[in-house]
Structure 1
Amino acid sequence: MFSRYVLRRDRGPFSVIDIWTGEPAVIAMVPQRGLSELDAQHTADLLNRRARAGDRVLMQ
């Protein structure tokens, strides 16, 4: 299944990247970078579920 949000390792911590923009995903005005792998995977999974469900907030 298509995933709009993917993980990228940044010399240790991870970022959640929006593949449409190539930039870190932003939640509550906070770029999702510098995360542990577990937190980044959880965030990406959540954002991907919402995107697949048609959450219009994510379809910018």
Structure 2
Amino acid sequence: MIDRYLVRPDREGFTVSDIWTGEPAVIAMVPQTGLSREDAEHTADLLNRRAHAGDTRLLQ
């Protein structure tokens, strides 16, 4: 299965990007931008595991 979320560099660090929309992922109304690489990779991994399981509760 293809991952929906990937990590991309941004001006302040890294963004977790939703490949379906082209927009940053949003959790609890907070865009996932300007993160450290470690935090962005962890967040993308969590969102991808939830997306593969069909769970979208974290997303707006």
**Shorter-chain TM-score above 0.5:** yes
- TM-score, normalised on structure 1? 0.88
Runs of 4+ in 1 over 6 A off after TM superposition: none
Matched residue pairs, number? 60
RMSD: 2.0
For residue 28 of structure 1, what is the amino acid of its counterpart? A
Question: Unmatched 5+ residue regions in structure 2?
Answer: none
Identity, % of aligned pairs?
72
Q: Measure how far apart 1:12 and its partner are.
A: 5.0
Which gives a bigger RCO, structure 1 or 2 (Cα 8 Å, sep 6+)?
A: 2
Question: Unmatched 5+ residue regions in structure 1?
Answer: none
Find the counterpart in structure 1 of residue 28 from structure 2.
28
Q: Measure how far apart 1:56 and its partner are.
A: 4.2
Q: Deviations over 1:20-41 (max 9, x none)?
A: 0000000000000000000000
Change (3 A) 1:38 1:5: same
Find the counterpart in structure 2 of residue 10 from structure 1.
10
- TM-score, normalised on structure 2? 0.88
Change (3 A) 1:39 1:59: closer
